[in-house]
Amino acid sequence: MSEDTLGSTPPPPPTPPEPPVRPPTPVTRKWHGPSLVWLVPIVALAVGVALLIRAVLSTGPQVTIDFHSASGLRPGKTEVRYKEVVVGRVEAVTLSEKRDHVQVTVRLDRSVSNIAVEDTRFWVVRPRIDTAGVSGIETLFSGAYIGVDAGESTKQKRHFTGLENPPFVLRGEPGRGFVLRTEDLGSLDVGSPILYKRNRVGRVVGYNLDPLIDELSVQIFIEAPYDKLVNSQTRFWNASGVEVSLNSSGLKVDTQTLASVISGGISFERPQGTQGLPPASDGSRFKLFSDRKSALAPPDGPPLRVRMVFDQSVRGLDIDAPVDFLGIEIGVIRAIRLDYDGKRKRFPVEVEAEIYPTRLGAVRDSMRQDGDDDKRRDTTLLQRLVQNGLRAQARTGNLLTGQMYVALDFPGKVQKAELDTSTAIPAIPTVPGTLADVQPQIAEIVAKVNKVPFDEIGRNLNETLAQANQAISQLRPEAQASLAEVRRTLQSVQETLQRADRSLLDPSAPIQRNAEQTLQDLQRAAQSLRVLTDYLQRHPESLLRGKPDDAKIPASPERR
Amino acid sequence: MSDAAVHTGSQMKLYGCPTCGRVSQLLRPPAGDAPLLCPRCATPLHHRRPRSLQRTWAYLIAASILYIPANLLPIMSTSNVFEGETLHTILGGIEELRHGGDWMLALIVFIASIAVPLLKIGALLVLAITAQRRSRWKQVERAQLYRMIEAVGHWSMLDVFVVVLLVGTIRFGALGGVMPEPGLLAFGAVVVLTMLAAGSFDPRLIWPEEEDKDRPS
Could you tell me the CA-to-CA distances from A47 to A10, A106, B183 in Å, in that order?
54, 29, 11
Contacts with B62 (C-beta within 8 Å, 6 or more apart), sequence order: A40, A41, A43, A44, A45, B189, B193
CA distance A538 to A551: 15
Q: How far is B121 from chain A (nearest CA, A)?
A: 14
Instruction: Look at residues A171, A178, A287 and name the one whose alpha carbon lies nearest to residue A226.
Output: A178
Show which of residues 148-167 on chain B sit within 8 Å of chain A, judged by CB atoms: none
Which of A404-413, A544-553, B169-178 is the least confident region? A544-553
Which of A413-417, A534-538, B40-44, B159-163 is the least confident region? A413-417
CA angle B107, B113, B118 (to 5 degrees): 105
* B128 has a chain A CB within 8 A of its CB: no
Closest residue, chain B, to A7 (C-alpha): B6
Q: How far is A26 from chain B (nearest CA, A)?
A: 4
Could you tell me the CA-to-CA distances from A495 to A184, A508, B131 in Å, in that order?
108, 20, 172
Closest residue, chain B, to A1 (C-alpha): B140
* A43 has a chain B CB within 8 A of its CB: yes
Is A291 or A468 the better-scoring residue by pLDDT? A468
Which of A26-30, A58-62, A166-170, A492-496 is the least confident region? A26-30
Q: Which of A47, A59, A137, A146 to mutate to test the interface with B (most CBs of B within 10 A)?
A: A47
CB-CB under 8 Å, B65 with A41: yes
CA distance A176 to A201: 11
How long, in residues, is chain A?
A: 560
CA distance A149 to A158: 15
CB-CB under 8 Å, A37 with B69: no
A214-236 pLDDT per residue, tens: 888 888 888 888 888 888 888 88
Given a contact cutoff of 8 angstroms between Cβ atoms, the answer to whether A149 and A166 are in contact is no
CA distance A92 to A341: 83
A475-512 pLDDT per residue, tens: 888 888 888 999 999 999 999 998 888 777 777 777 77
In chain A, the N- to C-terminal Cα span, in Å, equals 180
The whole-number pLDDT of residue A387 equals 84
Q: Averaged over A543-552, what is the pLDDT?
A: 76
Q: Which of A38, A51, A58 to mutate to test the interface with B (most CBs of B within 10 A)?
A: A51
Neighbours of B32 (CB within 10 A): 10
Count CA atoms closer than 13 A to A59's CA, side-chain side.
13
Give the pTM. 0.47
CB-CB under 8 Å, B31 with A26: yes
The whole-number pLDDT of residue A267 equals 85
CA distance B36 to A488: 178
The whole-number pLDDT of residue A1 equals 42
A3-18 pLDDT per residue, tens: 444 444 445 555 555 5
The whole-number pLDDT of residue A259 equals 62
**pLDDT band at residue A245 under the 50/70/90 scheme:** low
Show which of residues 64-83 on chain B sit within 8 Å of chain A, judged by CB atoms: 65-66, 68-69, 72-73, 81-83
Q: Is the pLDDT of residue A23 over 50?
A: no
For residue A48, give the nearest of B6, B68, B196 by CB distance.
B68
CA distance B196 to B60: 9
Q: How far is A136 from chain B (nearest CA, A)?
A: 13
What interhelical angle do B182-200 and A39-58 show, nearest 10? Answer: 160
Closest residue, chain B, to A48 (C-alpha): B66
* B186 has a chain A CB within 8 A of its CB: yes
Q: Averaged over A44-71, what is the pLDDT?
A: 84
The whole-number pLDDT of residue A493 equals 93
For residue B58, give the nearest of A18, A38, A51 by CB distance.
A38
Is A242 or A39 the better-scoring residue by pLDDT? A39
The whole-number pLDDT of residue A8 equals 41
The whole-number pLDDT of residue A495 equals 92
The whole-number pLDDT of residue A490 equals 93
CA distance A160 to A104: 10
A124-172 pLDDT per residue, tens: 877 666 555 566 666 666 677 888 888 888 888 888 888 877 776 777 7
* B17 has a chain A CB within 8 A of its CB: no
Q: Which residues of chain B have pLDDT under 50?
A: 1-4, 212-217
Residue A447 DSSP SS3: helix
Given a contact cutoff of 8 angstroms between Cβ atoms, the answer to whether A62 and A108 are in contact is yes
Q: Is the pLDDT of residue A264 over 60?
A: yes
CA distance B121 to B51: 19
Q: Averaged over A260-283, what is the pLDDT?
A: 78
Q: Averaged over A400-414, what is the pLDDT?
A: 80
Could you tell me the CA-to-CA distances from A118 to A64, A156, A159 in Å, in that order?
13, 6, 9
CA B140 to chain centre: 19
The whole-number pLDDT of residue A273 equals 75
Q: How far is B105 from chain A (nearest CA, A)?
A: 22
Query: What is the β-pairing status of strands A159-161 and A128-130?
Result: unpaired
Contacts with A64 (C-beta within 8 Å, 6 or more apart), sequence order: A103, A104, A105, A106, A158, A159, A160
Q: Is the pLDDT of residue A24 over 50?
A: no
Q: Which of B66, B85, B144, B175 to mutate to test the interface with A (most CBs of A within 10 A)?
A: B66
Which of A61-65, A523-527, A547-551, B182-186 is the least confident region? A547-551
Kindly state the greatest CA–CA separation across chain A: 196
The whole-number pLDDT of residue A519 equals 93
Is A461 or A479 the better-scoring residue by pLDDT? A461
Q: Which of B17, B51, B65, B95 to mutate to test the interface with A (most CBs of A within 10 A)?
A: B65
